[in-house]
Structure 1
Amino acid sequence: MSFEEKLAQFAELAVKVGANVQKGQTLLINTSTDTVDFTRMVVKKAYEAGAARVTVNFSDEAIDRALFDYAPEEEFEKYPRWIAEQRDELIERKGALLWIDAADPDLLTGVPVNKLSTHQKAAGKALENYRDAVMNDKIAWSIIAIPSKAWAKKVFPHLPEEEQVPALWEAIFKTVRIGEGDAVLNWEEHLIKLHARADLLNAKRYTKLHYTAPGTDLWIELPEKHIWQTGSSRTPEKTEFVANMPTEEVYTLPSKYGVNGYVSNTKPLVYQGNIIDKFTLAFEDGVIVKAEAEIGQDLLQEMISSDEGSKYLGEVALVPHESPISASNILYYNTLFDENASNHLAVGAAYPTCYEGGSELSEAELDAHGINSSITHEDFMIGSGEMDIDGILADGTVEPIFRKGNWAF
């Protein structure tokens, strides 16, 4: 299969499987100037699928960096209303949203933490309606990624410059099951397998999970009405979409106040254009009581102080160490990929869709059921080939879920 054929399949996947654009629907694409040619292909595929209108918001990394370098301090307390209003209109029109990411993992390195924090909080407040729509699957949304020079250099620094972007393209194609046969059919088969795994976990009704690995000894309680989900979701109109491409996970939510012990990361976390690494979080009754990082300590503290909910966990995700992305031994410095190579957790907001009837509950009702709310939702990777996970049933029976990083059943 030629590069051009793979590229065409990727654009088709983004439209037909990721965002799953429907006839007469509006599609909003957020991306950067590094993706112009590919984005044009996606736009064409979307119109061929029946989209009524496709709007593209292009950003530029040099311009984005200039904001943090030169804008006055008080500007970071504001957030453009038109961005929130554009997404609100998309939600009202039952449109679809696609992110095409090509971000430089080091884009905002050196920016003062207070600027990043103020910007994050202002955006979180302004985009509350949008965040609610995404967390509750009220619209179809999807994130994919394609190479940029800066990102490819970060991933493949050992390669000659002219080989870095092609190498990242080929790696990404493999993660999204492009290269052998029909990619759309490949994804249909993959999602069936993920759904089967989620069904097995839902039938178990575990009350707790116990994680053990070097640097980790963590107990996580699960709410009685928790639901294990996959990367495939449905809108209220029953349109199926895949929020993350690639996806290898099955995930649920923890009981907000039922997390105890400590956990260490196994892959770097890229947060607001910076890297946080070699960190450990300690929990007591759900709250992070200690957070220590060798790299990015100030950013780690900022991340877990964004609001009250950022001090708690919101997601528990299981990914076998033998997953295709992990087997590639490539560190992507991009959570979209790295989280699908490793068991991971998320600080901040839980997905209400992981709780029976959760999408119908208010924030106060969610909290009463032990479901966390926050402007933050940041995944961090904890899995390895040395991790064991046990599931505890209601009668106290302990069953192996993971052994040496992989499924035990």
Structure 2
Amino acid sequence: MNSFNEKLDKYARLCVEVGINVQKGQPLVINAPVEGVEFVRLVAKRAYELGAKQVHVNWNDGVLTRLKYENAPMEVFEKFPKWYADGLEEFAEDGAGFLSIYSEDPELLKGVDPKKIAAHNKSSSMALKEYRKYIMNDINAWCVVSIPTKDWAKRVFPNVSEEEAMEKLWDAIFKATRMDLDDPVKAWQEHLDNLEKRVKYLNEMKFKKLYYKSSNGTDLEVELPEGHIWGGGGGKNSKGVYFVANMPTEEVFTMPLKTGVNGVVYSTKPLNYGGNLIDNFKLTFKDGKVIEFEAEKGYEVLKDLLDLDEGAKHLGEVALVPYNSPISQANIIFLNTLFDENASCHFALGKAYPTNIEGGENMTEEELEKAGVNDSLTHVDFMVGSKDLSIIGETSDGKKIQIFENGNWAI
């Protein structure tokens, strides 16, 4: 049985060797919580061993973030610092890999003025638009992982001590990322190969439409654009280097036609967005656009998300995840999109990945628009999978094939 420190070291190695796949002479940029300093040091050490020319860390701290929202004036949130955006672009131009350690307290900003949150989301999205092109077009390698923080752990496991909550969340993360196995890298390779088989099948079928139905009321028709491409597991950056953008990852995904979504969809897990939770919400689509919405919790936050820009009212991603995925079987609501989206079929509001359509990474914004690709300043995943979800695919010649039945793959 591997000790905690052995698992932690393997996890750091996995992030560097498989997630980013750091190359000799490449910079590595890490976004991390201050609580994760020991883990970040392990990541940096391994990156330098592999030949990284520098490791730059952008630290974040929930306490300081909360203090800022409670005390800083609105103008601070309306103007995102240009020097920060320029710095990320400079690293991107130099071929850096970007590792984000996402461990936010899901209710960090509960009770904070929602107008400040909305202003920050808009100003940061606008300022980081050019940088995000490097990520969303897979020009640079990028990877999102998580480690426990005390506030997040206590949200997930509120009925135990802080120490036990941390232990339980570490254990859940290690299992979800295959760190509890003797050879995690080999296990990941086998897993990525299995995802690739699903991707190959879906790309061969070239489905024109997907029909979603569930007993919770979900009844949605999703049209896929001509030339759409399914992806999953890992991909290659502009230099041909293979990387894995999410760890864990259980999804295969593509884009919908911007104007081709009609019907109703219900959320099945809470959505952590902007330091607040949005829960039990319903979206009604007509010709691709959200025309009505409801939410038992976080209504104003959802409204601000949808009002960010026109593209935020449309879908940019369709992702398939079996209900019996290892993360789902853990029976834990992680309140963290990286994990919850890999336990459930999901969609994303906002920008589509240009790599999900033939030649998309080389298209202009006008060409992408003409091809039916959604554009937005945001990209927010929300979960819709359930144990009785049915998804039927329709081919261009009208043939219908059951893709998902009772929440799991039927093919």
Residue in structure 2 matched with residue 71 of structure 1 by the alignment = 72
Residue in structure 2 matched with residue 205 of structure 1 by the alignment = 206
For residue 121 of structure 1, give the secondary structure of its aligned residue in structure 2. helix
For residue 237 of structure 1, give the secondary structure of its aligned residue in structure 2. coil
Contact 2:196 2:233 in 1 (8 A): no
1:187 correspondence with 2:188 = yes
Q: Counterpart amino acid of 1:338?
A: D
Tell me the CA shift for residue 111 of structure 1.
Answer: 1.3
Residue in structure 2 matched with residue 310 of structure 1 by the alignment = 312
Tell me the CA shift for residue 398 of structure 1.
Answer: 1.0
Q: Counterpart amino acid of 1:392?
A: E
Quick one: which of 293, 298, 303 aligns to 1:296? 298
Q: Which runs of at least 4 in structure 1 moved beyond 6 Å after TM superposition?
A: none
Identity among equivalent pairs (%): 50
Distance 2:164 2:279 in 1: 27
Residue in structure 2 matched with residue 238 of structure 1 by the alignment = 240
Tell me the CA shift for residue 160 of structure 1.
Answer: 2.8
Q: Counterpart amino acid of 1:347?
A: L
Distance 2:190 2:198 in 1: 13
For residue 290 of structure 2, give the secondary structure of its aligned residue in structure 1. strand
Spell out, residue by residue over 1:193-218, the C-alpha distance to the aligned partner (whole angstroms, 9 max, x if none): 10111001111110000000022000
Spell out, residue by residue over 1:282-304, the C-alpha distance to the aligned partner (whole angstroms, 9 max, x if none): 00000100011010000111111
Spell out, residue by residue over 1:336-378, the C-alpha distance to the aligned partner (whole angstroms, 9 max, x if none): 0000000000000000100000011111211111000001100
For residue 282 of structure 1, give the secondary structure of its aligned residue in structure 2. strand
For residue 335 of structure 2, give the secondary structure of its aligned residue in structure 1. coil
Distance 2:162 2:115 in 1: 35
Tell me the CA shift for residue 169 of structure 1.
Answer: 0.4
Q: Counterpart amino acid of 1:201?
A: L
1:256 correspondence with 2:258 = yes
Q: Counterpart amino acid of 1:22?
A: Q
Residue in structure 1 matched with residue 396 of structure 2 by the alignment = 394
Residue in structure 2 matched with residue 105 of structure 1 by the alignment = 106
Residue in structure 2 matched with residue 40 of structure 1 by the alignment = 41
Tell me the CA shift for residue 161 of structure 1.
Answer: 2.8
Q: Counterpart amino acid of 2:299?
A: Q
Distance 1:272 1:325 in 2: 23
Distance 1:48 1:328 in 2: 35
Distance 1:39 1:287 in 2: 41
Distance 1:130 1:19 in 2: 17
TM-score, normalisation: structure 1? 0.99
Distance 1:196 1:315 in 2: 20
Distance 1:259 1:238 in 2: 34
Tell me the CA shift for residue 159 of structure 1.
Answer: 2.1
1:7-406, aligned counterparts within 5 Å?
A: 7-213=8-214, 214-406=216-408
Tell me the CA shift for residue 185 of structure 1.
Answer: 1.2
Tell me the CA shift for residue 34 of structure 1.
Answer: 1.1
TM-score, normalisation: structure 2? 0.98
Q: Counterpart amino acid of 2:258?
A: K
Farther off after superposition, 185-194 or 244-253: 185-194
Tell me the CA shift for residue 182 of structure 1.
Answer: 1.2
Tell me the CA shift for residue 57 of structure 1.
Answer: 1.2
Spell out, residue by residue over 1:300-339, the C-alpha distance to the aligned partner (whole angstroms, 9 max, x if none): 1111110110010000000000000000101100000000
Contact 1:346 1:377 in 2 (8 A): yes
Distance 2:163 2:10 in 1: 24
Distance 2:55 2:195 in 1: 31
Q: Counterpart amino acid of 1:406?
A: N
Contact 1:34 1:102 in 2 (8 A): no
Tell me the CA shift for residue 59 of structure 1.
Answer: 1.5
Tell me the CA shift for residue 231 of structure 1.
Answer: 3.0
Contact 1:35 1:102 in 2 (8 A): no
Farther off after superposition, 239-248 or 154-163: 154-163
For residue 386 of structure 2, give the secondary structure of its aligned residue in structure 1. coil
Tell me the CA shift for residue 158 of structure 1.
Answer: 2.1
Spell out, residue by residue over 1:11-41, the C-alpha distance to the aligned partner (whole angstroms, 9 max, x if none): 0001001111111110011111110111111
Distance 2:140 2:182 in 1: 30
Contact 1:227 1:356 in 2 (8 A): yes
Number of residue-to-residue matches in the alignment: 409
For residue 112 of structure 2, give the secondary structure of its aligned residue in structure 1. coil
For residue 201 of structure 2, give the secondary structure of its aligned residue in structure 1. helix
Farther off after superposition, 152-161 or 3-12: 152-161
